[in-house]
Amino acid sequence: MKHLLAALLMLATGSLFAQSDSAQLRKLAQEILTNSQAYNNLRVLTQEIGGRLAGSPQMYLAEDWGSKALQIAGAHSVWKQACLVPHWVRGGEDKATAITPAGKRKLDVVALGNSLGTDKKGLKAPVLLVHSFDELESKKEQVKGKIVFYNYPFNNTMVRTFEAYGDASKYRGQGPSRAAQYGAVGVIVRSMSHSTDNHPHTGATRYDTNYAKIPAVAIGLRDADWLAAQLGAAAVEVSMQTHGHFLPDKQGHNIIGELKGTEFPNEIITVGGHLDSWDNCEGAHDDGAGCVQTIEVLRAFRSIGYQPKRTIRFVLFANEENGLRGGNKYAEEAKAKGEKHVFALESDAGGFTPRGFGFTMSEEQFQKVSTWRSLIAPYGCSEFSMGGGGADIGPLNRTFKTPLAGLQPDSQRYFDYHHARNDTFEAVNKRELELGAVNMAALIWLVDRYGL
């Protein structure tokens, strides 16, 4: 009887806790869905500041904006954590023209990030079409003096589009050096996208210092198809002109807002996105969305009067796109100071409707977060899976084995915009953006309440 009573009491208490959790999350959701500042913050960041590549004047404007926005949202303290960032500049308009037997045609291209430009008068060379590195190897005798055109398509049959991106992006990363190895003078890469438009998508390339650092551009999908069709019929030359180069590193900053924990102030939870973006777009989905959602989680906690048990850091990371210096610096300084980082969450997969979270943590920790699934699912994140996090919080995991989570919004439209000129404010939907923040706030709240 005593056991029965105890059991009933436990059940009742558990149920009360669950009801109270559910009510708290509902309160958070209502606060965000009613009074969110995320959309307006995104408008300012994207339309008033715009593209904000590491080292650019806009990087500093965005840092100041972020500091102020974190203060307004109610951080107990806000500071800038300095870190040196690379300073690559595009240096001018990227141009390419195809010269076919039928005449000339302008191609819609964008130089790859970190790529070096042609010389001032540009380069002109015959184009060699390949669809893979295997084909490059099999044609290596033909590469010398050519512009290699990697026309590897995004795999549409991969339902999770980040898989297709992982599959295709090696041509952007390694393509230039692997072609240079055999004497290529330039590279054209099919954009990493399955969009229906012709916007080219940039992104970082990584030169292998053993080979010449040859110019490299991404080409829009329609132009890629057109160029491939021309090459099937006749020899084609392309003239291209790009201007990319590096200036000396600059002093950039992670922008950090903090709520001090009431019970376990030394246990730090991090939530963030990255403040930098490529220069050819407004960086709305990548990753303005993650930044304003991070700020919104803070604002909502303060607005409902929530006092966290643990210390929560709201971080706008520097230089994710072409260096990851911000994420690395954050973990380095945490290590130097002997901080205890118990959890980190990143939003860097677009401001789309939330579907789930991907977790990098122990099986035991995953079991624990899985018990929260039914509390969070009503707001969109019904899919919890192992694997995931974010580039900027990765160093925390590598340094401290900090458990990580990544917000996983629906991914179908992400690569329509990623690193392309149409990644603008208008491409983000207000409610989808806000619901992302709701799900992030819910997860952070549960981790703060119950630990991991």
Q: Which is nearer to its own copies, 31 or 448 (CB)?
A: 31
Q: Which is nearer to its own copies, 21 or 249 (CB)?
A: 21
Tokens of 320: 């994710």
Q: How far is the CB of 379 from its own copies (least distance, A)?
A: 6
Q: How far is the CB of 42 from its own copies (least distance, A)?
A: 12
Q: Which is nearer to its own copies, 156 or 210 (CB)?
A: 156
Q: Which is nearer to its own copies, 270 or 439 (CB)?
A: 439
Tokens of 375: 């509390």
> Of the candidates 210, 284, 271, 225, which has an alpha carbon nearest to the alpha carbon of residue 52?
284
Q: How far is the CB of 427 from its own copies (least distance, A)?
A: 11
Q: Which is nearer to its own copies, 4 or 159 (CB)?
A: 159
Q: How far is the CB of 151 from its own copies (least distance, A)?
A: 17
Tokens of 61: 């404007």
The 10 Å Cβ neighbour count of residue 33 is: 15
Q: Which is nearer to its own copies, 198 or 429 (CB)?
A: 429
Q: How many Å apart are CA 408 and CA 357, to the nearest integer? A: 5
Q: Which is nearer to its own copies, 150 or 414 (CB)?
A: 414
Q: Which is nearer to its own copies, 91 or 378 (CB)?
A: 378
Please return the burial class of 327, using the count of CB atoms within 10 Å of its CB with bins 0-12, 13-18 and 19+: buried
In this structure, the dihedral spanned by the alpha carbons of residues 408, 414, 417 and 423, taken in order and rounded to 10 degrees, is -30
Q: How is the beta sheet containing 237-241 ordered, strand by strand?
A: 103-107, 95-100, 237-241, 123-130, 147-150, 186-190, 216-219, 109-111
Q: How far is the CB of 157 from its own copies (least distance, A)?
A: 5
> Of the candidates 176, 190, 169, 175, which has an alpha carbon nearest to the alpha carbon of residue 107?
190
Which residues bind to its own copies, rule: CB under 8 A? 29-30, 33-34, 39, 156-157, 159, 161, 194, 196, 353, 355, 378-380, 382-383, 410, 412-413, 416, 429-432, 435
Q: How far is the CB of 372 from its own copies (least distance, A)?
A: 17
| DSSP character string of 116-183 | PPP-TT-EEEEEEEESSHHHHHHTGGG-TTPEEEE-PPP-TT-SSHHHHHHHHTHHHHTHHHHHHTTT
Q: How far is the CB of 434 from its own copies (least distance, A)?
A: 8
The 10 Å Cβ neighbour count of residue 55 is: 26
Q: How many Å apart are CA 201 and CA 280, to the nearest integer? A: 9
